[in-house]
Structure 1
């Protein structure tokens, strides 16, 4: 038998081919979830879901992070960049003609959209994670989305490291922005409500018109740094901003679907 006939299927094919794992990947592609939520969504026993999650974690597609609301619980997160890399490798392994091409760039600012999505980002203090997400999406969307952020217990001002990382890494100035309370948004309509804090997810108020609820389980960089103002706490904010920027990048194709392209004649 030829060596090519003996080759094992690529990693992504091995992991995603199983029905339960594919359903888990599909649910986690929307946002971070706990085991009991995945059990309810896929309709399988918890021991089976946990088993397949372990396989996905071993393959590097899924990671787990302890909940800041309940340390006995964990949120599972799908690494979409890793999925893209392994899926691209799977196509190329079968035939060079199946190598995936980079996605088309999103429409540039000023290009009219059929609808303008409205997005709310939430965290507890509205001083770091949610204003970083707000600023990055507004920057990358170029005016094509209505974006705001708020907190359940807003701080007096934005964290200086959050202001600094947006200015230095992304050339975005939010120095004049002030945290706002979720109560000030009562009656507002949102298409997407995205929580970046495990604690605020548990107290999110109801918004009209049933917005899409997504969760990004991201630790508070101020808590991770151990000191709210120390200079050596800045790297935690830099890492947090990079993670949020990756998630914002993956959010854009959901907010702004690419127009259908006809096949070439």
Structure 2
């Protein structure tokens, strides 16, 4: 008989602390600022910051400066790394415990709205990729608080080249055109759009993904396109982890 190491895997040591587990659980749903995490867990800011630093040192959490207010930072949980660490931790106990996350199966009929400022890059990419991954089972829309005249050319290209999705005929939509519509989920991908606060009913679940605007890259066209590829890959990963959440969401009742 070969016993595993007496030392628990690093992920379990990090995640096993009650406060760190609370922080991980909160960041698994949405990118958040320190003060928001402080309010959620009900602990002093210096203690929250200390445990966030441990999670960052462990490679589970990253921080990015808010593009709306450079004094703020949004914390983001690397779910891919968590998935690998969980699989490795399971395998350390028994090889059969390593495995990929199963697909969510049939999804309930839900409506999801993605929001960014211009509705020309991040939110239309998210709209297209969720529609693709959900195979039409979810009603998906995107809009912007200050929509651009047209989709960014790299948005059209990256979706066509890497995901086989044609959005060439799509045009940015203003949030005002959705007044009166109700959504089960509203997901902002832009820090500025989140501060604007898209209107939502009490039953709407509000999430935030702090995704830097790929259109701000001012280098060569090739560098700009590579940035869009990375952004689309990030959003695609986030959506892959969103699907299991949608699968266990009870859809709201439509009012007669």
User: Same fold per TM (> 0.5)?
Assistant: yes
C-alpha change, 1:157 and 1:6, in structure 2 (3 Å) is closer
Q: Is the 8 A contact 1:187 1:208 kept in 2?
A: no
The partner residue of 2:128 within 119, 127, 135 is 135
* Equivalent residue runs for 1:139-150 within 5 Å: 139-150=132-143
Q: Is the 8 A contact 1:189 1:209 kept in 2?
A: no
CA distance in 1, matches of 2:5, 2:142: 53
CA distance in 2, matches of 1:61, 1:17: 13
Deviation, structure 1 residue 92: 1.5
- Which residue of the partner structure matches residue 31 of structure 1? 30
CA distance in 2, matches of 1:249, 1:57: 23
- Which residue of the partner structure matches residue 78 of structure 2? 79
- Which residue of the partner structure matches residue 218 of structure 2? 226
- Which residue of the partner structure matches residue 233 of structure 2? 242
- Which residue of the partner structure matches residue 100 of structure 2? 102
Q: Is the 8 A contact 1:188 1:208 kept in 2?
A: no
Q: Is the 8 A contact 2:111 2:139 kept in 1?
A: yes
CA distance in 1, matches of 2:140, 2:82: 28
CA distance in 2, matches of 1:6, 1:197: 44
3-state SS of 2:101 partner: coil
Aligned-residue CA RMSD (Å): 1.8
Mapped pair 1:193 → 2:192: no
State the aligned residue count. 248
Q: Is the 8 A contact 1:15 1:21 kept in 2?
A: yes
C-alpha change, 1:232 and 1:96, in structure 2 (3 Å) is closer
CA distance in 1, matches of 2:165, 2:65: 31
CA distance in 2, matches of 1:136, 1:147: 10
Deviation, structure 1 residue 6: 6.5
C-alpha change, 1:172 and 1:6, in structure 2 (3 Å) is closer
Deviation, structure 1 residue 5: 7.8
CA distance in 2, matches of 1:208, 1:252: 22
CA distance in 1, matches of 2:93, 2:4: 11
Gaps of 5+ in 2: 250-256
3-state SS of 1:121 partner: strand
Q: TM-score, normalised by structure 1?
A: 0.89
C-alpha change, 1:46 and 1:175, in structure 2 (3 Å) is same
CA distance in 1, matches of 2:170, 2:153: 11
Q: TM-score, normalised by structure 2?
A: 0.92
Mapped pair 1:158 → 2:157: no
- Which protein, 1 or 2, shows the higher relative CO under an 8 Å CA cutoff with sep ≥ 6? 2
Q: Deviations over 1:121-172 (max 9, x none)?
A: 0000000000000000001111100000000000000000000000000000
Gaps of 5+ in 1: 259-265
